[in-house]
Chains A and B, each alone.
Chain A
């Protein structure tokens, strides 16, 4: 097929309003009168349905909250507007949370795009590179004077998601599919997502932990990361360090004199 012909075919795949491209016939039999549009629709449907299936697989809780019909309709609109640029579909849908946030209907459920951001982060963490966490002994082994300049290397799967809504609590509740006490929707949650071994861990972060971990992700030395955390009231460095190692989020401790 020439480049012009594939231009036309490719355009028609995501635009059901366009007529079938020139040069196509419904079958290899010249006299065949099978309706061409119906044949083309098989390809159109497969392309879009595969993309929407991919999104549904990656955003199961978002789908449950919005209802499957609404989610698939929104997913379909997203897929037609933002088809994948990569052949590796496990990364498809990073743009869905922002797309959902732009929909008028979200004014009634403004927390949903943030839940989708959390699920997007979980999807990335699932396929991030493997690395073995180290215990807090790796930090304790350093002489006191080396602590300030030491660098904590975080697991490649670590991501932060901050929200004005209790996104981790909402996700857990929906995952279990159970009722429970009313969730305080005004209680925002900062969440760390990671996959220290094979399973995803989500941690609700205490005050100051988000800027602290963000600084560590930016390869700041420990003292500077601690300053970033301490800019928030109530930041507790020892507790944050203990929790970070406990979660399996640290894979190496690099003293300042060891090249990175």
Chain B
């Protein structure tokens, strides 16, 4: 069983963390700055051996870990992938993460894996299935999972409920927590012509076990409307920092991850993002820091 005592830190603190990238390992070991936990994409550690495990084992002795799956396809029409659940369980046993999360999305269909987080319809049929899949996941992995709100570019005609109501109901029925990705809130609301502040204020913050921040790319579609794409390829923009400060003010501090997965910057750039999150979390950020 995971433990809270002993040399290996288990609980993820109400503090900043970063998504672990191999190119930053030396820097993190030399000076992690504000970073107090690391998050890994589970699928990158599903090989049998080699350097990824070697490095992560060493880092794990020093930092609590958040295990973030990107491929489970919890929203998929297919039955949940038991083999993949077993792989997640192996990682959980090996690394004892303090947090475990996955996405409200699908990514597999009839054995083909699509490496993206594809959108689901918010209706009763999908709700039942997602709840079944979350139950199976929590049973197999042996810990609570956090379900992350997606970035979406499309919607379904036959959706009958709002995304937030859908997520709150999954959390209520399964006991899973929620992962609030504030960049995803901003991206999806822009793409759907909705107000992110209204979305954020309606989000059940009490169920939130972790917050994600990240960068996106802004385009326009052919009719001149904003089309924001969740690329994790740049710095968090100021409006997302403002939404984050609002979430912390309303809900209290949460473990907060800065994601940067493409066009990965030198460590000081990412460390500065983590420091900015820390300033918000500790209430040291005045409006000028955040805005």
> In the complex where A39-B227, A50-B115, A89-B115 touch, is A198 in contact with B51 (Cβ < 8 A)?
yes
B155 CB → nearest A CB, Å: 4
B87 CB → nearest A CB, Å: 7
Q: In the complex, A23 Cα to B123 Cα: how many Å?
A: 13
Cβ of A260 under 8 Å from chain B: no
- Which residues of A pack against B, CB within 8 Å? 1-3, 5-7, 9-10, 13, 23-29, 32-36, 38-40, 42-43, 46-47, 50-51, 54, 83-90, 126-130, 156, 195, 198
Contact B51 A126 (CB under 8 A): yes
Q: In the complex, A5 Cα to B159 Cα: how many Å?
A: 13
Contact B77 A34 (CB under 8 A): no
Which single member of B49, B155, B157, B193 contacts A129 (CB below 8 Å)? Answer: B49
Contact A128 B50 (CB under 8 A): yes
| Per-residue A-contact encoding for B141-175, CB less than 8 Å = 1, 0 else | 00000000000011111110000000000000000
Contact B48 A128 (CB under 8 A): yes
Cβ of B225 under 8 Å from chain A: yes
Which single member of A34, A84, A127 contacts B115 (CB below 8 Å)? Answer: A84
Q: Which residues of B sit under 8 angstroms from A130, Cβ to Cβ? A: 48-50, 53-54
Cβ of B126 under 8 Å from chain A: yes
A-B contacts, 21 of them at CB < 8 A, read A5-B77, A6-B77, A6-B106, A10-B112, A23-B157, A23-B158, A24-B156, A25-B155, A25-B156, A28-B192, A28-B193, A29-B193, A43-B118, A83-B112, A83-B114, A84-B113, A85-B112, A87-B43, A89-B115, A127-B48, A129-B49
Cβ of B110 under 8 Å from chain A: yes
Which single member of A23, A87, A156 contacts B71 (CB below 8 Å)? Answer: A87
> In the complex where A1-B121, A29-B194, A34-B221 touch, is A39 in contact with B81 (Cβ < 8 A)?
no
Residue among B43, B47, B75 facing the most chain A CB atoms (10 A cut-off)? B47
Q: Which residues of B sit under 8 angstroms from A83, Cβ to Cβ? A: 112-114
Q: Which residues of A sit under 8 angstroms from B156, Cβ to Cβ? A: 1, 23-25
Cβ of B125 under 8 Å from chain A: yes
B48 CB → nearest A CB, Å: 4
Q: Which residues of A sit under 8 angstroms from B229, Cβ to Cβ? A: 42
> In the complex where A2-B125, A39-B221 touch, is A47 in contact with B116 (Cβ < 8 A)?
yes
Q: Which residues of A sit under 8 angstroms from B54, Cβ to Cβ? A: 130, 198
Which single member of B46, B114, B120, B155 contacts A47 (CB below 8 Å)? Answer: B114
User: How many of B's residues come within 8 Å of A, CB to CB?
Assistant: 54
| Per-residue A-contact encoding for B66-91, CB less than 8 Å = 1, 0 else | 00000111011100010010010000
Contact A87 B84 (CB under 8 A): yes
Closest Cβ neighbor of B221 among chain A residues: A38
Q: In the complex, A39 Cα to B119 Cα: how many Å?
A: 12
A245 CB → nearest B CB, Å: 20
B103 CB → nearest A CB, Å: 13
Q: In the complex, A38 Cα to B223 Cα: how many Å?
A: 10
CB-based closest 5 A-B pairs? A127-B47, A130-B49, A87-B71, A10-B109, A129-B48
Contact A42 B227 (CB under 8 A): yes
Closest Cβ neighbor of B121 among chain A residues: A1
Cβ of B44 under 8 Å from chain A: yes
Q: Which residues of A sit under 8 angstroms from B109, Cβ to Cβ? A: 6-7, 9-10
Q: Which residues of A sit under 8 angstroms from B191, Cβ to Cβ? A: 27, 39
Contact A198 B50 (CB under 8 A): yes
Cβ of B31 under 8 Å from chain A: no
Contact B112 A126 (CB under 8 A): no
Q: Which residues of B sit under 8 angstroms from A47, Cβ to Cβ? A: 114-116
A42 CB → nearest B CB, Å: 4
Closest Cβ neighbor of B159 among chain A residues: A28
Q: In the complex, A121 Cα to B55 Cα: how many Å?
A: 22
Closest Cβ neighbor of B109 among chain A residues: A10
Additional pairs, 20, CB under 8 Å, beyond known A1-B121, A6-B76: A2-B125, A6-B106, A7-B109, A24-B156, A28-B155, A28-B194, A29-B192, A34-B221, A38-B222, A39-B227, A42-B229, A46-B115, A83-B112, A88-B43, A89-B43, A90-B47, A127-B48, A130-B53, A156-B49, A198-B51
A51 CB → nearest B CB, Å: 6
